[in-house]
Amino acid sequence: MKRIIFHIDQNCYFASVEMISHPEYRNVPMAVVGDQEARHGIVLAKNELAKKFGIKTAEAIWQAKAKCPDLVLAPAHHEKYEFYSMKLRELYYGYTDRVEPFGLDECWLDMTDACRDFDEAAKIADSIREIVKERFELTCSVGISFNKIFAKLGSDYKKPDATTVFTDRDWKEKIWPLPADDLLFVGRSTMGRLAKINVRTIGDLARTDQEYLIRYLGKAGDTLWRYANGLDDSPVAVAWHKREIKSVGNSTTTATDMTSDAAVSGTLHMLSESVAERLRKHKLKGTVIQIEIRDRDLVRCEKQKVLFEPTDNAGTIYSAAKALFDESWDWKNSIRSIGVRCAKVIPADAGIQMSIFTDEEMRQKTSKLDKVIDGINRRYGKGVIASAAEAKMQKDEDRAAPVGKDPFHPEDRF
């Protein structure tokens, strides 16, 4: 199976972060600049309006002001950029533990185990972009391909706020016509040398004799030839640390507003299945169930309840979530998004106080069945075995369902 790699690149990152706390910057050409007194007077980032004046990252402030006299200069706040970078990565960790940062504003994700194919990958990428907008007021571009180099190329291909897919079937027709310096690690100097041998596009580079490139550019010639021919097999690094998991939650903004109990019930079933599967994956159980509802006006409602005993079972999670919904929602407004979370998690093998009201034999049978289903889905692909509620949800085209098979995201608000 071909790998499915994401490259997520935040658009105009430093400038976008500054615009969160300074909305007035959104309507004027603005650049984040280095400390002029400390002789770091260069443009670190610019917004889209400044970009239209031809202002470039790393150029001197005086050059930028010459292009746009009304350019607003904002000082850099690196602690802010690091904070949002950390929060974005925490979001990505909810999809995969293979998250490799490439600077503060870019990350590769190995999504091979999270997607069945490139179509589903594109839907999940679109979902991530919407989450980033809603939760952080930032935009990002996502490139998807079967290796890291082409995924990075995809995130640069169309900006801002876009998803680009280069599959193993169409990459040559899309990528080979692009300029050679669009390829990662082809800088100005290398591009100048390539131009001397009439290599101007990625296709030119791919079709050049490999041994000749090695003689001409040394080891870099071999690397670039392999990149141009789609032969990059470098892995996405596993996150260097695993954060302590304190809760596991999924939420979704549905394609259309939910206006009925049936729509909410189906969505809660799917969310509960996803939460339960992830709890079992991490060998955890939840002791508190929380729901979060946002109506069409983005008014938020949150409720929670303590469970009688810890659980990693979808049915138990759904029953508690639905009970919370029924007792808290009056349908004065339609629902835009809904989430389910298991909080105060404990290790699955931790001892629990047994109850005379619990059918222990049935509980153990259910637990074994859940693990068998997890194993089958991991081996043959997500959704091979689904609950009746999930199957009905997927077939009912009139119901407000999330885009894609399982594009739900773990909520980690701050």
Residues identified as active-site = 106
Q: Which of 84, 94, 162 is nearest to 129 (CA)?
A: 162
| Interacting residues of 190 by C-beta distance below 8 A, sequence separation 6+ | 181, 217, 220, 224
Q: Tokens 């596993």 label which residue?
A: 238
Q: Which of 215, 212, 140, 217 is nearest to 183 (CA)?
A: 217
Cite the beta strand spans of 96-137 per DSSP E.
Answer: 99-101, 106-110
Structure tokens at 368: 């074994």
Task: State the Cα torsion 220-221-227-231 to the nearest 10°.
Answer: -110
d(CA 410, CA 287): 17
DSSP state of 158: S
Please check whether residue 51 is in contact with residue 21, taking contact to mean a CB–CB distance below 8 angstroms.
no
Measured CA to CA in angstroms, residue 247 lies from 1, 90, 96, 181, 219 at distances of 32, 12, 16, 44, 47
d(CA 260, CA 89): 35
For residue 160, whether the previous peptide bond is cis, meaning omega lies within 30 degrees of 0, is yes
d(CA 309, CA 109): 35
Please check whether residue 314 is in contact with residue 377, taking contact to mean a CB–CB distance below 8 angstroms.
no
The helix or strand, by DSSP H or E, that contains position 306, with its residue range, turns out to be strand 300-311
Question: What 3-state DSSP class applies to 340?
Answer: strand
Query: What DSSP line would sit under 266-304, residue for residue?
Result: HHHHHHHHHHHHHHHHTTEEEEEEEEEEEETT--EEEEE
Please check whether residue 210 is in contact with residue 222, taking contact to mean a CB–CB distance below 8 angstroms.
yes
Question: What 3-state DSSP class applies to 382?
Answer: coil
Q: Is 12 left (phi over 0), alpha (psi -120 to 50) or beta?
A: left
d(CA 267, CA 265): 5
Question: What 3-state DSSP class applies to 188?
Answer: helix
Number of C-beta neighbours around residue 272 at 10 A:
27
